[in-house]
Structure formats: structure tokens, C-alpha cells
Structure 1
């Protein structure tokens, strides 16, 4: 067995929590690009696992070096990534504290999933008790507070905490989670964090499916290495960041990262184009018998609805036509890449959490500007209702709604109002929203496509 070989070990200047495939396809890859552009000297990452130590165990056996495979529509390309200098079990509290307290470290990045920012009260209380007694933390906010306390105590100075999860305004969310726990543990620590630590918001985008045994064979064929921990991802990547870096940062712009004053428009663009498009293709595509995003992109009905959805969002986003055309062109290419399997059933999960920011927020924007809700937007809501009714949904947040829908499964008017009320109570009494949903339900039941016309004003 010949694993990929290390040619350089960069000094650790970044600590990362959440050693998963996305981190290795995204932030670690951008750091690799920055190091190469700097001529060899660069920034090394000490990456800690979030839950299971398995990823650290496997990577440590090959000196934390791995292969990144970019899977294009026609072929694969492979590159060796060695920006990870150290990998470790996140449960090793002493090693974590020492890493965060290191004066050479200037950046602390996170990929802990959306749920990691909002642990239960019981879990936070347990962390508070453990940290008060000098013990370890188990939640992500607890680990951050533990590491930052060690840094404060060492006199190492401030650093930037950079969230890289799909969460709007993730820097603010991280800051609130950390300070909320810190102030209960030690008010003086909270004051130090508030004064010395910056919380950077980011928008991240790169589809990274789970690695398979076939992928490892592909790496062997491309490189000659036996890599137990390769990462497969799409060629496209995007990273937009907003915030301060008091101790410096890598030149991530070498890989295409952008630094902006206001990240919110970029978050909306992603939610209303990529994520909303995924939801549309998931619910409409499943109704029409498709399995993956790429399958749905071969269906002219799905594609026409997708293009209409993007046109509806276009008027609500503060970007010029050239930028919007480039964004949607990139999405067409990405969605059509059949060699990146993105399953509709996976995307359809948790619609009760996803459809608010993806679909209802652009509807609210249109209403605020005097426009009617988009035909494709309301069609997504109708397709989601039928998805809930067909028994295939695993949405824990929609259990009560499904029970209410099943009381009157054939009353489309009531279904529309119930579903809109569950997602957006402020819109449930607005017939300009609920009536098109009702209209779409009838059309979808008839031919599994959205209604070609909106209901007349008289129907409202």
C-alpha cells in the first residue's frame, strides 16, 4: 500500500473543528491554493474531528495527506492536498486547548453543520458544569469557549473565528452561541472574547458527495496511490467572506475566494437560486419519477419550472444582469453533471426548515415590492404538500402538519392554507399566496406539472 506522500509540512496557523469531507474539499483546498500561490511557505491546519474520531485516525495513518478528485461532466482530475499539518480527535481536550492557545494560530474555522450551533439546553448546561470544574466540553460552542479560555489565559491575543456552515449570518450566530455560554462561565472571559475575537461570516458552496470504494479505485488509477481518505467534489467552488482577521489570514483569494463588506446579498443569491432550485427539482422531480438532480435536468417540464423560478428571483436580487446570467449558467452546468450524484430524496428532507428561507422569503420580497408571488414559487409549495401526503417524507418538523393534512387530503384549499400557515403564519391569510398553491395542487394531481396559468383575480 502506497499512500499519497507529503512534500511539505506548513506551520500550524489555523485550527479547524469538524474534520469532514466538506472541510477538506473547501477550506483546506482554498488553503492549499493559497500556499501554492505563496511559493511554498504557507499556512498549516490542525484539524479536529467534531464527533467520531474515525476521520482523524484514517488520515493520521497517511500523515494527513489526501487526494482531492474534481469530478467533471466528462472526466476526473486529481490533486494532492497537504494543507492539513495535524489531524486529531476533537475529544482530546488538552490537545484542543493547546492548539487554540498557540500564539502562531490566527484563524479558527468551523464546519459543524447547522445543528451544531444550537445544542439543547441540557447539553449546554452539562458543558457549563464540566467547564466550571475544569473538565471538557462536548458541544461545539462549549469547545470554542474552552479553547478561547485557554487562549486568553496564555496571553496569545485575539484571532478570527470563521464559520463555514450553510447558515445565514453564520458569524453572528457563532458569536452569540459563544458569548452566551462564556458569559455564564466567566463574564471576564466574555468581555475578552468580545474585545479580542472577530467572528467572520461566510457563504460557502461546493457539492461534496460521500466517498465510495469506487472513488478510491479511481484515485489509484489516476495517481498510483492507495488513498484511504480521498474526497470527491465538483469542479465548482465558491467562498465569500465578510469580517476582520486580527492576526492575518491565508491568501484564499488565490483560489477564488472573495472578501466583501456585506455578505447578505450573496447568501440570498445562493438560497434563492441554488437552494430554491434544488427544492423545486426535488419535489417536482420526485412527483415525476426522477431520482437525482441530473435526472430532473433531462425533464423539460422540470427545467422550464426551474428557469421560471430563477426569473422570479432575478428581480429581487441586487445583482446586475451579467452577474445573474453567469450565476444561472454555472448552476445549469452543475445541476446537469450526472457524475455528481445528488439524490432528490436527500434534498427533499426537512422541507419545513428549508422552504422558509428558500421560497417564502423571496415571496415576501415580491409582495413588499408590489408583485404577486411567483408561479414557480407557489408551485414548489404545492409539490411539497403532495410529497408530505404520499408518505415518503421523513421531515421531523412536519409531523404535526402531516397529521392535519391527512384529515382533509382532498381539500386543496384547506391544504394550501394549512401548509402556508405552518411555514409562514404571516402569509396564511393572504389569498395571493394560498390560492395559487391550491390551483397548483389541482394541476399537479392531474399531470404532475405546475399549473400553466395563475388563477384569475376573480378566484381570489
Structure 2
């Protein structure tokens, strides 16, 4: 049917992107730097996707090849030049480094439409990749599209080096319709949307925000699993309150209720899925990034404040993040050092870009004091 070059053969790359396109008949070409997983996948010639819902089922993926990004550069450039889709899922701190090899393949691409998508978990990541590629390929041919994407399947960690990838049995893969070049592709689990920004905010302000609240408040109260944390009456109350605040904001911004209420009902069930085995440490990790002004907690809280909407529960989530001190998380330890040196006001100003005198900051500081009592019990 076509070729997909997928940079990153990790949990998202194999468990979501590779899985969806392979099922649709595409030949998937993985590119990675992990010698262990490259050798294993080459030797076995297949991997298993374990789809975890109320029940668990498995699907086997076989029609793929895998190459090393550096050692097999020429082979990958050849595949990029023929690809229908070029995708990345390697992490927000790494993916822009792929611009030179992608540009090299696009430079010799056959004169047919192709699309580059960055499946990285932050705002308009494909646009940023396009900007980086333009440093190596300018002008970029009009037959190459760069639609932003949003993926919503929960992918908890799998054992490193395992042939089996654990994923949530839920499809959410949205593509920015007006930036896609060529005929729209019809694949189960893939949806083209107008008003991409609103759908992106829906995901970040509900799925990612909700996970963060469960992670930070669950950690404070000593829970290990997300599905256990959501059963705590107080945590669930804060979560539901924060989702209501996000719902009010999304409606104010113009998203139809048709795309919100049912989505939130399903989301609470997804968070409660014990079979996923998702941990509070995973969803809370890297608090400095997650406390950023454009990220899952601070951005919706700031927008609520700007729109004169309630934000108390979002402020509680931010306060919980500021208290996250998990000793195996480098970012958490760095955050605690910053709080000791700069105080809460300094961290709110420097990391969150929240004015320390604002109503939002006052509420965060008030909730921080309240949550410290829970932490010290």
C-alpha cells in the first residue's frame, strides 16, 4: 500500500504508529539507535502489541524492517525518498536532530505527495521540525506536507528489550487536515480534523493534565498505580474538578460540547484501567517540563485566569507538582533545589511564568501549604 519511515522503535513508535500503519497494509521502516532492540527485531522478524482494555488481546506485527539511524544512513535516506509518511517518536529533546537525515531523503524524493509528522508530546511539534528541516532543504517542495498530529493512546512502559509492547486498547490519532498534502488516507484509528489547536488543547488539558494530577497527588498520598490513585475520594474530587475547569475553558475557546462531555466520561474510565499497570512515577516524571507555561497544568490554569474562569483544582495540581520530590527523578530533585534557593515565588516566575502576585499564584501557594500537611503525615 505504501511506505512509512518511523524514527523511534520504542513504545509509541511500535505500539501506536507502527501498529496502526502496519495493520492498514503499509510497509513500516523503523529507525533507531538501540542496538539491543534492532538486533532482536531483525532476528525474530516480528513483535507483539498487547492491547489492554477491560480485557487483554494481542496482535502480531510482521511486515517491517529496522535500521540503525547512523550506521544505515544511506539505506534510510533511500527509504525516505520513497516514503508516503515520515514519522518521529523519539522524544521532544531529540527529534529535531533528525532534520538533516530527513532533509537529505526529501531532497531526492520522487515527485509525489508525502507527509512528515512529529508524534512528540508537545504543541505543534511538526511545525518546529519543518523549521529545522528548512535549514537543510530550502525551499521545501510543495508536495511535502507537515501536518501537526495528536496521539492519545496511553502507552505505559514495557520491559526494555522485550518483543511485546503494552498499549491501551484505545485509538486517538488526529491529523491537522489543512496541512496534509495529497488525498486523505482512510485508516482505522486515524482522523483528520479542522481546528486542530482546539483538539490539541482538549488532549493536553484533559488527558495530560489529568494524568499529572493523578501522578502528583497520588505520589503525595503514597499510591504507586494511577488506577489506585483515582479511587481515592479526595484525589478523584480534585481531578473531576480540574476536568470541569478545563471543560469550561474549552467551551469558552469554541470547542463544541459534542467533542467534550463524552470524551471526559470515557477518560475517567481509561484512567481507572487497572490492567494498564501505569504508575504515578511515570505520569509525574520530569516536573520542570510539566510545569512549563505551555504545558498541561500551567497553560490551562493561566487561560482560565485570563478568561475569568475558576482554576482552584488546576492550582492544586500545580502545587502538587511543586512538591514532587521522587528521588529517582533528576528533574524532581532539581526542582526541589530551585525551591530551596529561589523560593516558591522564584520558581513560579522562572519556570511557570506566573506572576507571583497574581490570583493564580496566590491560590497555588495556598494549596502548596495545604498539601505539605498531607505530605508530612
**How much does 1:313 deviate?**
0.6
When the two chains are superposed, the root-mean-square deviation of aligned CA atoms in Å is 2.6
CA contact (8 A) 2:287 2:324 kept: no
In structure 2, the residue matched to 1:171 is 126
Identify the match of residue 309 of structure 1 among 227, 242, 248: 242
- For the structure 1 residues 448 and 301, does the alpha-carbon distance in structure 2 shift closer, same or farther, using more than 3 Å as the test? farther
When normalised by structure 2's length, the TM-score is 0.89
Q: For residue 300 of structure 2, what is the aligned residue in structure 1? A: 362
Structure 1 position 311, deviation (Å): 0.7
Between Structure 1 and Structure 2, whose CA radius of gyration is higher?
1
Q: 1:136 matched to which residue of 2?
A: none
User: Which residue in 2 is equivalent to 1:428?
Assistant: 356
**Residue 48 of structure 2 corresponds to residue 67 of structure 1:** yes
Partners of 1:31 and 1:250 within 8 A in 2 = no
- 1:288-338 deviations in Å (ceiling 9; x for gaps): 111121120121111011000001111111333343221112211111111
Distance 1:404 1:175, change over 3 A: closer
User: Aligned to 2:80, which of 100, 105, 120?
Assistant: 100
1:431-446 mapped onto 2 (5 Å cutoff): 432-446=359-373
Give 1:205 shift.
Answer: 1.6
Between Structure 1 and Structure 2, how many residues are aligned?
Answer: 369
Say yes or no: does 1:79 pair with 2:59: yes
Does residue 218 of structure 2 align to residue 285 of structure 1?
A: yes
Alpha-carbon distance between aligned partners in 1 of 2:78 and 2:134, rounded to the nearest angstrom = 21
Distance 1:53 1:148, change over 3 A: farther
2:146 maps to 1:199: yes
Compute the displacement of 1:207 (Å): 1.8
CA distance in 1, matches of 2:113, 2:260: 38
Q: 2:116 aligns with which of 157, 161, 168?
A: 161
Aligned residue in 2 for 1:45: 28
> Partner of 1:327: helix, strand, or coil?
helix
Q: Can you give the 5+ residue segments of structure 1 that lack an aligned partner in the other structure?
A: 1-10, 36-42, 119-138, 183-188, 217-227, 409-413, 450-460
CA distance in 2: counterparts of 1:249 and 1:57, whole angstroms: 35
For 1:392, the equivalent position in structure 2 comes to 327
Partner of 2:7: 17
**How does 1:209-288 map onto structure 2 within 5 Å?**
209-212=156-159, 229-242=163-176, 243-246=178-181, 248=183, 250-252=185-187, 255-288=188-221
Evaluate the alpha carbon distance shift between residue 359 and residue 240 of structure 1 in structure 2; reply closer, same or farther with a 3 A threshold: same
Query: In structure 2, do the counterparts of structure 1 residues 320 and 245 end up closer, same or farther at CA, with 3 Å as the change threshold?
Result: closer
For 1:140, the equivalent position in structure 2 comes to 98
| In structure 2, distance between residues paired with 1:203 and 1:291 | 27
**How far did residue 280 of structure 1 move?**
1.0
Deviation of 1:398 (Å): 7.2
Q: Match for 2:40 among 58, 73, 76?
A: 58
Does the residue aligned with 1:167 lie in a helix, a strand or coil? coil
Q: Cα deviations across residues 43-102 of structure 1 (Å, max 9, x unaligned)? A: 2122222x2233232122233x322211223x32122223x3322222201111211223
Comparing 157-166 and 325-334, the one that deviates more: 157-166
- 1:6-58 deviation per Cα after TM superposition (whole angstroms, max 9, x unaligned): xxxxx6522222122212221222224433xxxxxxx2122222x22332321
262, 286, 290: which one aligns with 1:350: 286
Q: Is the 8 A contact 2:249 2:309 kept in 1?
A: no
Name the SS of the counterpart of 1:77 in structure 2. strand
Contact 2:213 2:317 in 1 (8 A): yes
- 1:157 deviation in Å? 4.8
Structure 2 residue corresponding to 1:90, chosen from 69, 76, 84? 69
Partner SS, residue 195 of structure 1: coil
1:131 is matched with none
**Distance in structure 1 (CA, Å) of the matches to 2:165 and 2:353:** 42
Tell me the residue number matched to 1:380.
Answer: 317
What is the CA–CA distance in structure 1 between the aligned matches of 2:148 and 2:300, rounded to whole Å? 22
- How far has the Cα of 1:379 moved from its partner? 0.9
